[in-house]
Each structure stands twice: as structure tokens, then as C-alpha cells.
Structure 1
Amino acid sequence: MKEMIETIKALSSNIGVLYVEDNLGLSKNVETLLLRVFKSVYIAHDGEEGYAQFLKYRPKIVITDVNMPGMNGFKMTKKIKDIEPDCKIIILSAYDEKKHLYTAIKLGIFSYLHKPTKAPELIKALHDAVLSIHKEENSRIFLTQLQNIFNYQNNIVIMMHKNRFVLVNRRFDEFFGVQSIDEFNEKYSDINELLLEHKEFLYTTPSSSWINTAIKNQGKLYHTKMQNHKGEKRHLILKLRNIPEKEDHFILSFDDVTELNLMSLFDANASRDDENSKDKMAILTLLQVVKDNSSEVKIHNFYKGLTIVNPAVITDINEESFALKTVNTQLKIVQITRYMTITSEIFPKDVVCKSVKSLDSDNQTIVIDDISFVSRSIVDRKYTRLEPDADHGCSLYFKNIKFPGESSVMDISEVSAKLKTDALPAGIEIGTKIKVVISLKLKGRLLTLSTLGSVYRIEENKRDYNIVVLYELLQKNLNDIREYLSRRQIELIREFKSIDVNSQSGLNFII
């Protein structure tokens, strides 16, 4: 008994005891015993007072007689259990009638002792109650910690029954932008389509769903790709295992490893598409900011190298495209090139629009849906680079031997030229020195530029090659090319103004 008393004292610092007894003499004796063991002891002399004391102090143990005036012990116990099911109720009763025992069992009484109760019996019941409370509290703390780990770890954790998610952690809710599993099930009706296609990754194919594949290979790690609620494509490692005690129940964990930048090693094309998709979302968000602030963007385009820049306002934005309103000059060049670059002071990079969804000349609007950031800024172009007139000549030499076939100039500046040639001699690569001879007409006279250049870029086409050559011209040639480019700009401005896009076959795509 002494050891039990010491155990009760050690574990009951936060445990209060309520004793309810209408016999004042017995109440005083038991109170004296309780005060030797517990720090917090509360006394009541009938059921109504006992219930009031319980509401006030919320003790974890209640000792009560059954037969009392007014509210009896069983009625008081039921009211207490309704609000605190874990409260340990110890009955002290002079009656062992079966109906009392059945009632006690039904109410979940912790212990039922016969009056007059001896001190060791009561101490033993209290000892057991304190140990039970202590065990339950430890279990609660442990389960709470497990719940926190379950909810707040970086992994997405899911319990699945057959082909349906039934329990998920908070990381799952955050990833898919939902408040509950019910909301997820409404939003994603077919989880077989949840994993996106990516070379060597797990996803649903015509022959098997990703779920069935993972179930057949439990414990195996799979690379997967999923899109979160922000539209970002994420790289996650999946592991599936079954729950032995529950048939057709499985635990899935997804570990996000996107920051390792491994997806392109498996499928460069898909990763590039993902980046473009990510760019598109970011661009549309920035464009919405521009629109909300009634600001403008600038559209940059080129006609044979001639720069054409005009302001534009954003008239509409949705999840897939946006519409711009601009001047007729820009509408005209867009009809010709079907291409444009957009800049804004809030863009981290220029935005390239590789195609135009539709163009309406009457309303002066352009709808664009194919957009991405571009690494090189069009604004940073230092030198004027123009397409020369058709009446020009070009010859290329490598080791004093002329290139076979025909060569022509695609565009030219004072420091470089983009050239097209039918054939590329063996041995020519980036950095190779070649001789470039270009003839141009300047004010009725023939202008010949002959210089040694370095191959900067090579583009192989089906039937020919494009090469970019960098060079440094002598001062006389430099002055001549600058004058040529100035006059050529004026020619291109006149030429562009005279174009009627609506009369040119294949150029009119007004929707």
C-alpha cells in the first residue's frame, strides 16, 4: 500500500479528485485519506453539488456514493461522462444488486467498491485510476506527435482504399490547394490521371494505371511528376506499401525532390515544356499586375532587321492567353512576322511570343497564347543589323579555298554577318577563321567588304547552313557599312509603309 501511495503522489500532481457522499461522518474520514495522497481534493454532499463541483474544477477522478438525495450517483455520473468520457468514476455503494452493476457497466464506471470500503481497497482503485490516466495521457501525447509528424513532414502521405484516397496529411492539402479530402475528390475525379507523363517516370499508360503498377511492385521507388495547385510541375519520389491489417488499404508517400533539378536528365523535351508552362503562368500573373495598374507594355518587332516598337495595353487575360490593343503599324508587322517580343519594367526578362492566336484589325487587338521568357533582351541590341537588298554578293573562303555552291547574306551589321551557304567545308567549327567578301551597292557604286572573321554560330538546315561570323572592319570599311545601314533603314521604312498585308497571299490571318 505504501508503494501505491508513493506512486499516486508521483503521478498525480495534475490530477484532482472529487468525492461525493451525503454521510458527513464517512465523508470526513475519506477526505482525510484523500488529502494524504492528492494535492487537489474537492468535496460534495449530493449529486447536484457534485456535478457543480465537477464543472468548476474538472477533476480527472470522481468517487461517489449511489443513493443520495436529489440527483443520485448514477445520474451525476451520466452527466459527467457526457462531457468528459475519460473521467475515472469510482462507485462506493452498500448495494451489490445486479441492476446497479449493469448500470455501472453501461456508464463505463472504472471501479465499483462495496461499502464500507477499506482504505487499501480504495487506495488500490485510486492507484489503478492514476496509472490509467497517466497511460492515456502518454498515448495522447504520442499520438499527437505522430499526427504532427504526419501532417507537417515534407512528404505527401496518403492512405488509399482500392483506388480512392481516404486519408491525407496537411502537406497533401497544401500541394493540391484543398481544404479536405472531400474537396480533392470533387476536384480530381480520376486519380489515374494524377501522375503526368515523363520519360522513365511512373504514369498511367494504355496497358496499366500507375496505381496498379505501384501495387504490383510494393516497396519499389518510382520517379513521378505531378502538378500542384499553382500549376507547377513537381518531381516526386513515390513509395507504396500495403497495410497488413486492412485488406486493399495502402500507404503512399511522395517525397518532393524538384529542387535537385533531375527531371531534364530523364526527359529534356518534357522538362523544357514544363519550364515554358511555368514561364507562361508567371508571365500571365505579371501581365495581370500591369493590367490592374492600367500600365502599358511595349511590343518589339523587326521587318528585315528594321526595329518597330509600339506601346500596347492589355485588354483581357485568362488562364491560357491574353489580348493586347496596339497601333496599326504593329498590327501590320505582326501579320507579316506572326512573332513579337514584349517588354515591361516589371518583367525579369523579355517575353517572346512565337505565334499569334488571332488578330483583329478592326478592334486593333492581338490574342497571344504561346509565350515564354527569353534569355537575351531585345533592348540590349547594340548594333543595327539589317537584311541587305537582293542585289548583293557574297563569297566565303577557308584556307584560301572558296566555299562550294552559293552563299548569301541574311543580315549584316558593322561587327557581324549572318550568312547562308549551300555547303560547309570539313574542318569548320565554332572559332574557325574564314575570309568573308561581301559586295553591296552604296549610292550607285559597288561597296566591297573583305575581312577575316571568326565563326560564332553554326545552324544546320535540311538543305543549307546558316553561320554567324564576327569580324573587325578597317576604319574605311566601317564608315562605309555604317552609311549603308543608315540608307538601308530608310529604304526599309518606305518598303514597309508600302506593303498592303491584306493583298498578300498567306499574310492575312485576321480572325
Structure 2
Amino acid sequence: MNERIEAIKSLSKEIGILYVEDNEGLSKNMHTLLSKIFEKVYIAHDGEEGYKEYIKNRPKIVITDINMPKLNGFTMMKKIKAVEPKCKVIILSAYDEKKDLYTAINLSVFRYLHKPIKIPELMDALYDTLISINKEEDGDIFLTQLQNIFNYQNNIVIMMHNNKFILVNKRFNEFFGISNLDEFIDEYKNIDKLLLEHKEFLYSTPSSTWVDTAIENPGRLFHTKIENYKGEKRHLILKLREIPERDKHYILSFDDVTELNLMALFDLDAAKHDATSKDKMSILSLLRVIKENSSEVKIHNFYKGLTIVNPAVIVDINNENFTLKTVNTQLKIIRLAKLMTVTSEVFPKDVICKSIKNVDSDNQTIIIDDISFASRSAADRKYIRLEPDANHVSTLYYKNIKFPGDTYIMDISEVSVKLKINALPAGIEIGTKIKMFISLKLKGKPLSFSNIEASVYRIDENKRDYNIVLLYELNNKNINNLREYLAHRQIELIREFKSIDINSQIDNHYSI
């Protein structure tokens, strides 16, 4: 008993209690008992006086009888609950009528005790009441802190249920120039039209609304364009999260990245000469958005044309570089190639990493500092282009005259071939028609392609030689043979890559 009383004393600091009883003797005895435990004890002798005492002192606990003059206990409780629904009420009654129990339940009475009350029973009731009050107050503090975080986020934050906005933060109100959500609903009656159409951005289409698309892809980052109350079209990155254990409840977060001036990059025609493509700070800012949203990027590398792709997480970002953590397979090819491409749904273009500052195999991390947007995407490669076996043979003919010097295939696909040649005959230019012969090895046997007609697509002049890209259309037999070769060659390159002992060539921890 003493331990329970001490526990109640500890929990009841700054908590007042009101006792309402018309029996003078019981009232005096209870006052004596409660004053030993609570610092603030208030006494009333009928329901009317009890209500007045409550309004005056606002105690968090009320102990009351039911049958009292002027105002009975239930009527007093209704008035108190109307003022403060969270007030905890304990009823002490000599009667056990069902109608009283039902009334007490409807009024959310915390405990219903029978007179004459035993002190241990009362102490247990008071202890449980105080535990409940403390839990509610802790919950209120937690919710208040969450509300503060919610309101003072730099991002626009929205809670949505059944495709309707039900809660928004202060930043949302500022963006749309409104005071509350009701004003927004009056003005924007159809949220499907909230996101404006922009190439490669998220917006509603005849086949799907932007909300449905976001719900189908929780956690994915989407580019969006929204007009604010000033008429400015802003570039924001959207992420939708599901709320656990709450059916069809979602949190939407919009991060405004307009100042990065990236919208033009999504116009492929303008992107080629867009100065923003080399803006390192823009890329680092987008990487911060990805990191803050706990999303991943993908690293792309090629080993003799073989694509090697793995996910990576962003470990650190500063104003000069960023650090990624990925699997050892990707680290291996990075250490060989000394460059890579990074992709994300947030990037308007793939990011080319021309300089790898540091590779740490022990911690599986890479530090990258020389970055820019690529003019083409790694995903744009429609056909597999592989470096052929070393024993291949290739010969080119222009006007039935063989090209002088050596000819070496750098990579080959179903529709093109890239070659290195020692000399470029006079008259060869973009669009020139030539013929070629190619011999490859498939499973140890020769695989020949004769009299192939091709056109020159690109010519690159080097110091001592030329790179030339030819386009062609193969007949069904040749294309099937080449597909078989490319499939077999991929397997060979995978085995070759796995067999490379990179550690014998480079230290585990090194800088480039």
C-alpha cells in the first residue's frame, strides 16, 4: 500500500483533484486522505458547487457521488465533459442500477466504484487514472512536436485519404496563398488538374491520374510542375509514402527545386546546348533530395560492351563531391574503367562521373567529384554492343577497292559496327555506302558475314587512326546468327570479368 501511495504522489505532481460529496462526514474524511497524496485538493458538496469549483480550478480528476442536491453527479459530469472531454471522472455510488452504469459508460467515466469504498481499491483507481493522464499528456506532447515539424518543413507536406487532402502544412498554405485547407478545396475542386503537363513529368493523362500513378509507386520520386498563387510555375519533386496500418492514407511531400533551373533539361531539343547540363551544384542538390528521401541511385558500367548495373546508396554529400556505397561487383568494374554513369528517376539526364576520386573496397564506397549531365541516357541503348573476340577478321571495300591498312572491330551490334582503321580513303564521308566482310568465332567455329552493305554514320579522327561507325540492315539468316553470337559472347565476357583478379592490379584502397 505504501509503495502504491508513493507512486501516486510521484505521478500526481501539479495535478489537481476535485471531490464532490453531499455527506459532510464522508467529505471531511476524503479530504484528509486526498490531501496526504495530492498537492491540490478541491471540495464541493453538491453538483452545482462542484461544477463551479471545476471551472475555477480545472482539476484533471473528479471524484463524485451521483445523487446530490441542486445538480446530480451525471448532470454535473455532462457540463464538465462539455468543457473538457479529457477530464477523468471516478464515480462513488451506493447504488448499482443498470441505468446508472449505462449513463456512466456514455459519459466515458473512467472508473465506477461502490460505496463503502475500500482504500486499496480507491488507490488502485487513482493510480490507473494518473497513468492514463500521463500517457495522454506524453501523447499530446509528441503530437505537438510532430505538428511543429509538419508545419515548419521546407517541403510542402500533405496527408491524403481516399484521394482527398485532409491535412496540409504551413508551407502548403504559403505556396497557394491560402489560410486553410477549406480555402484550397473551394478554389481547386479537382486535384487531378493540380499538376501541370510537362515532358517527362508526372501529370494526369486520359488513362491515369497523377494521384493514382503516385499511389501505385510509393517511395518513387516524381518530377512535377505546379503553379503557385503568384502564377509562377514551380518545379517540385514528389514522393508519396503509405501510412502503416491506415488504409488508403498517404503522406505526400513536394520538394521545390525550381531554383536549380532544370526544367529545360527535360526538353531534349534544348538540352544539348543547355549550360545547366554542366552545373555540378544542380546535380549535388538533386542528390541531396534523393538522400533525404532515403532513395537509391543506380550505377552503370560497361565491360567490353557488357552492361553491369547495381543499386547504390548515398552515404555523404558536400559542396565538392559525394560518396556512394555499392556492391563489390560494381566496385570491380569501376576500378577497371575509372568512370561510370549514375541514374535516378529524379535526374533529367544520366549523370556522367568522369573522375572517381577514391575507391575503398573495404568499406564498399566511392567518392566522385567530376560530374555532369550526359547528352544521352544509358537506357537509350536499344541494341547490345559488344567487343568481339580477339580472333575476329574484318575487311572494308569502297568502290570494290579494299581499305588499306589494318581494320579492327571495337564493338558490334545487330544494326551497327564501330571500327578502328589506319587510313581513310579519299571520298569517304557521312552517308557513304561501303561493303564489308566480317568473320567471328562462335563456339570455336568461324561465323562469316559476307558482302554486307553499310553506310557511314560517324567518323572520328584520332592522332594516328580513325574510328568509323557503320550502320547496316542484315537479312534474317545473318541477324539470327549475329544474335546467337552476341548471346554467347555475353556469357564469355561475364566469365572473363569474374575471373579478373583486380586486387593484383590495384590496392584495395586507392585514389585515382
Give TM-score scaled by structure 2 length.
Answer: 0.49
Give TM-score scaled by structure 1 length.
Answer: 0.49
Q: Greater CA radius of gyration, 1 or 2?
A: 1
